[in-house]
Each structure stands twice: as structure tokens, then as C-alpha cells.
Amino acid sequence: MTHTASLDDAMEQKNLLEQYKRIIEINQELGTTYDHVSLLRKIVFAAKELLDTEVASILLLDNATGKLHFAMSTNIKPHEMEEITIPLEGSIAGWIFTHGEPRVIANAANDPNWNKGVDKEIDFVTRNILGVPMRTHKDVIGVVQAINKKHNRDFTDNDIVTLRTLASQAAMAIENARLFQQSDFIAELVHELRTPLAALKTSTTLLKRSDLPETKRGDIVETMRGETERLINLTNEFLDVARHESGRISLNAQSFAIKKLLTEAVDIVAQQAADKGVIINIAEEDYTVIVDRDKIKQVLLNLLTNAIKYNRENGTINLLLEVIEGEEQTMLQITVQDSGFGIAREHQKNMFQKFYRVPTLENVARGTGLGLVLCKNIIEAHGGRIWLESEVNVGSKFFITVPLAD
Ligand code: ADP
């Protein structure tokens, strides 16, 4: 007996040493590489080996769809990962994400939250699961899961500690990658400023030409007006986004009836809609929300303007309301549905990235590619979510949730 115990102890010691070694290796790389993809790969393989499981995966919240998707996995191929999404409700990973707590599931098939769809898609049998949330200094961004502990064993407390450490490293790798993108923000702004500035320069040169037909002057002045407006929007939206991202988003929440605000926003865009023959329908119901009125108005205006800009001639827009019972708070879901060009699936995941504009729609309307980023910042500051569903040539639905008053 004593002999076996000391053998087990020795194994445990060796195991612990191996764990420290791997974790320190990953830590060293965290500070020195920008290649977060290969780091995430190392992290899932470390999780699989150190916890002695069949597979391990990292899931991240996709802000565009409001669902979790695989960012890295030891057994799912990249093209398969693209296809699989996991809802926050009715899934174990979703539970871990929304509760922000680790969870051990001894028998997945018996768990009411278990989503067997993924097993089916990748031809896998899940028995037991250990999942932990991935946290940055601000919030939960995803979940790390280790699945099927080998030799029919159960997960231990030590496994939880190890996976938590790996999850915080994964969160740091993602945060580093995002910060790196942030420093590109200014460079991209400068790049974006160059196009309207070049157009303005050309226009002024043309205007000075004495041989310019009088009839052309009006067109050139109109171009200058449009480009100046774009510059103003770009700089204003850039400042707003920069302010939000440095944590200076302050909310002045008050409770009021949403319908009046919807009507006000629709009135502002009415002329723009009428010019295109677009009809806007507002939901019949009314609810009292508790939000920063001006900021939510800004979000609605952005979504409505997009729904007009990227709509077809004589299209429609529906503003729909639905109450969503949450575990912590009841939210009002506002949907802005248009009958426009729609957004292809491959572009949908980029929709909330700064300066992103769908390449095929770039010439359809003027824009900055910052409007949706602003919407996301404002909605998330209210504890809500923003996401979309879209189908090419059918239209898009943008959803936001905001807190309802009690
Ligand atoms: P922009 O100022 O370019 O409109 P946004 O951030 O509001 O910036 O939107 C980013 C991009 O998303 C747009 O350029 C457009 O390509 C696409 N988009 C936004 N809303 C819609 C919509 N309702 N239908 C189709 N595409 C849309």
C-alpha cells in the first residue's frame, strides 16, 4: 500500500512539474509574440495533455451573432469551426459564459443544458466536461473546455486550477491581439482620412480652372460637400469610439416609454427614407425602458440610417419589440429589420470591427465603418447585446437589447 501511495505521489509530483513547465513556457510566449493563433493552439494542447482528456477547445463570444464559436480546438478543423455556433442559452458553454463560473459535468447526456448538436456535427461522443470562463480584466470573453477525461476518471480540483490558469493565459493572448489591433486604429484613421482629403484637393484644383464649364461647378461643390461631411462624421465617430474605449462612457439613465423615442428617431430619418421610397413601420406595443435616452437615440439613428442606406428602392423597414426574460434582468429586444441587400455570411463576423465596410456595398452609400462599433459600445455599456441576422438580397435584422424598467 505504502509503496503504491508513494508511486502515486511521485507520479503526481512529476505531473505537477510538467504542468508548471508548460504553463511557464506559455507565459514567456505571451509577452513576446503577436501570433495569438499559435498561442491558442498551444494552450488547447496543453489543456488536453495536462488534464489527460481526449479533446480541449476555446470558445469565444462572437459579438455579431451573440453566440459562442470555436476559436481553437484540438479535434475540430478550422473550416468545421467556422460552421459551428453555440447559443448562450441551452448549452453548457453558454451557462459557464453567462455565470462566469467553472463547471464540471460528470455525465453530459444527463445534463439539461447539454447541446448534442455539436457532437453530431463532428461525429464525437461527449461523456464528461470541465469548462471554465475566460476573463479579461473587464469581462468574460469566452470559455475553455476540456472534454472526456481518459481512463474513465473524474475531473479533480487540480484540473480546475490548471484549466483556469490556461484560460487566463488564453484571455491574455486574445487581449494582446486586440490591443495590437487598437494601435492600428490611429493608422487606419489616417488612411481613411486620405480619401476624402484627396477628393477635396482635386475638387479645389478643378474649381480654380478658368475653362471649367459653369454647369460642372455645381457637381464639384456637391462632391466637396459630401466629402466634408464624411470627414466630419469620421472625426466625430472616431472621437466617440476612442472615448468609449478608454472607459469614459458615462450613462445618464432615465426611465421613459420607448415608443416616443422610436417615433422621434424615425421622424429624423423620414426625409432620407422618403427620398428612396422606403416605408418604416413601428411596432404597436409600448414599453418603459431605463436607458440613456440620447445614446440609445444615437444607436437607433445609426441602425435606421443603415437600414435606409443599404435598402432597395421602395423597400421597407420594421421596428419590432419583444420582451426577453433574462436570469438577471428583463430586457427589451428592439429589432431593426430591412428589406435590403443583406450581408453575406463571410462578412457578418466583421460587422462590428472598426472601419469595416462590406466590400460589395462600399459604393452603395457613403459611410465610415464606425457606426456599428459605436452602437456596440453604447449597448454593451447598458448591459445589453447587439447582433445581426442577414440574408443576401432578402435583408438584414439588427437586434439590440436594453434594460426594461421594473
Ligand atoms: P457605415 O458608416 O459604413 O454605414 P457602419 O459601421 O454603420 O458604417 O456599418 C458598417 C458596414 O456594415 C457598412 O458599411 C455596410 O457595409 C454594412 N451594413 C451596415 N448595416 C447594414 C444593413 N442594414 N444592410 C446591409 N449592410 C449593412
Q: Is residue 192 included in any domain, yes or no?
A: no
147 and 269 share a domain?
no
CATH number at residue 167: 3.30.450.40
Select the more confidently predicted residue: 240 or 15: 240
What are the contacts of 189-196 at 24+ separation with CB within 8 A? 189/234, 189/238, 189/355, 192/234, 192/355, 192/368, 192/369, 193/231, 193/234, 196/227, 196/228, 196/230, 196/231, 196/234
In a 13 Å sphere around the CA of 251, the CA atoms on its Cβ side amount to: 19
pLDDT at 1: 45
Do 18 and 146 lie in a common domain? Answer: yes
In this prediction, residue 363 carries a pLDDT of 86
| Number of domains into which the chain is organized | 2
Pocket test for ligand 1, best of 192, 299, 310 (most atoms within 8 A of CB): 310
Residue 159 pLDDT: 93
CATH number at residue 344: 3.30.565.10
Residue 238 lies in a domain: no
Which of ligand 1's atoms lies nearest the C-alpha of 369? Answer: 8
For residue 135, the cross-strand partners are 140
Q: Which domain covers residue 303, as residue numbers?
A: 251-406
| Cα–chain center distance at 312 | 27
Residue 9 bridge partners (DSSP): none
Pick the range with the lowest mean pLDDT from 30-39, 127-136, 264-273, 305-314. 30-39
Q: Which residues pair with 147 in a beta bridge?
A: 55, 129
DSSP label at residue 76: S
Average pLDDT, the chain: 89
- Which residues fall within 8 angstroms of residue 190, CB to CB, at 6 or more apart? none
- Mean pLDDT over 234-239 rounds to 90
In a domain, 240, yes or no: no
Amino acid at position 7, single letter: L
**Residue 5, pLDDT score:** 60
Dist. CA 175 → ligand 1 center (Å): 26
Rounded distance, CA 226 to CA 222, Å? 6
Confidence (pLDDT) at 34: 66
Q: Which atom of ligand 1 is nearest to the CA of 311?
A: 24
DSSP secondary structure string for all residues of 264-302: HHHHHHHHHHHHTT-EEEE-S---EEEEEHHHHHHHHHH
376-380-382-387 Cα dihedral, nearest 10 degrees: 60
Among 177, 139, 131, 143, residue whose Cα is nearest residue 58: 143
How far apart CA 331 and CA 384 sit, in angstroms, is 8
Q: Is residue 203 part of a domain?
A: no
Tens digit of each residue's pLDDT (9 = 90 or more) over 195-223: 889 889 999 999 988 888 888 899 999 98
Helix, strand, coil percent values for the chain (each to nearest 5): 50, 20, 25
Same domain for 172 and 256? no
Residue nearest to ligand 1 atom 8, measured at CA: 369
Residues 277 and 170 in one domain: no
Residue minimizing CA distance to atom 14 of ligand 1? 357
Which residue, 58, 66, 37, 35, is CA-closest to 349? 66
Q: Kindly report the protein residue whose alpha carbon is nearest to atom 11 of ligand 1.
A: 357
Indicate if 157 and 260 belong to the same structural domain: no
Look at residue 373 in the predicted model and tell me its pLDDT: 93
The pLDDT, as a whole number, for residue 248 is: 60
Which residue from 276, 280, 306, 337 has its CB within 8 A of the most atoms of ligand 1, so it is best to mutate? 306
With a 6 Å cutoff on the Cβ, whether 340 touches ligand 1 is yes
Residues 173, 265, single domain; the answer is no
126: cell is: 461527449
Q: Name the pLDDT band for 279 (thresholds 50, 70, 90).
A: very high
pLDDT at 78 over 90: no
Per-residue pLDDT for 60 more than 60?
yes
Q: Which CA distances in Å does 70 have to 87, 93, 105, 223?
A: 12, 11, 19, 45
Residue 2 pLDDT > 70: no
Give me ligand 1 centre to Cα 353, in Å: 11
Write the CA distances from 242 to 189, 195, 247, 248, 251, integer angstroms: 11, 21, 9, 9, 16
Is the CB of 305 within 6 Å of ligand 1?
no
**Alpha carbon of 269 to ligand 1 centroid (Å):** 16
Q: What is the spatial distance between Cα 30 and Cα 39, in angstroms, rounded to a whole number?
A: 8
In this structure, are 151 and 36 located in the same domain?
A: yes
Q: What is the DSSP letter of 69?
A: E
| β-pairing verdict for 279-282 and 316-324 | parallel
CA angle 148–152–155, rounded 5-degree value: 60
* pLDDT tens by residue, 29-50: 777 766 788 889 989 999 999 9
In the DSSP assignment, the letter for residue 318 is: E
Would you say residue 380 has pLDDT above 60? yes
Regarding the beta carbon of 364 and ligand 1, being less than 6 Å apart is answered no
> Is 190 a domain residue?
no
CA contacts within 13 A on the Cβ side of 161: 6
Check pocket membership of 306 for ligand 1, CB cut-off 6 A.
yes
One domain for residues 287 and 138? no
Interval between CA 345 and ligand 1 midpoint (Å): 14
Point out the domain boundary residue: 177, 205, 222: 177
pTM (2 decimals)?
0.61
User: 52 and 170: one domain?
Assistant: yes
- The protein residue with its alpha carbon nearest to ligand 1, atom 2, reads 367
Do 172 and 271 sit in the same domain of this protein? no
What residues pair up with 246 in beta bridges, in sequence order?
A: none
Q: What is the pLDDT of residue 19?
A: 80
Cα 321 to ligand 1 centre (Å): 22
What pLDDT sits at residue 45? Answer: 93
Which has the higher per-residue pLDDT, 326 or 273?
273
Of residues 398 and 195, more confidently modeled: 398
Q: Name the residue at shortest CA distance from atom 4 of ligand 1.
A: 367
Ligand 1: does its nearest atom lie under 6 Å from the Cβ of 336? no
Residue 358: which pLDDT band, with cuts at 50, 70 and 90?
A: very high
For the ranges 83-92, 280-289, 315-324, 329-338, which has the lowest average pLDDT? 83-92
Tell me whether residue 213 is in a domain.
no
At 70, the pLDDT band (50, 70, 90 cuts) reads very high
Q: Is 361 in the pocket of ligand 1 (CB under 6 A)?
A: yes
Among 177, 208, 237, give the residue marking a domain's end. 177
Query: Cα(104) to centroid of ligand 1, in Å?
Result: 41
- Kindly state whether residues 173 and 255 are assigned to the same domain: no
Which of 159, 177, 195 is a domain's end point?
A: 177
Indicate if the pLDDT at residue 340 is higher than 90. yes
Ligand 1 pocket, 370 CB below 6 A?
Answer: yes
Answer yes or no: is 227 within a domain: no
Q: Report d(CA 170, CA 233) in Å as an integer.
A: 36
Verify whether ligand 1 is closer than 6 Å to residue 341 (CB atom). Answer: yes
114 close to ligand 1 (CB < 6 Angstrom): no
Question: Is position 215 within any domain?
Answer: no
Phi, psi of 180 (to 5 degrees): -60, -40
**Nearest alpha carbon, ligand 1 atom 13:** 357
Q: Give the separation between CA 65 and CA 86, rounded to whole angstroms.
A: 10
Does the beta carbon of 388 lie inside 6 Å of ligand 1?
no
- Supply the pLDDT for residue 282: 98
pLDDT in tens, 247-259: 667 788 999 999 9
Residue 368 Cα: closest atom of ligand 1: 2
Amino acid present at 236: N
Nearest atom of ligand 1 to the alpha carbon of 372: 6
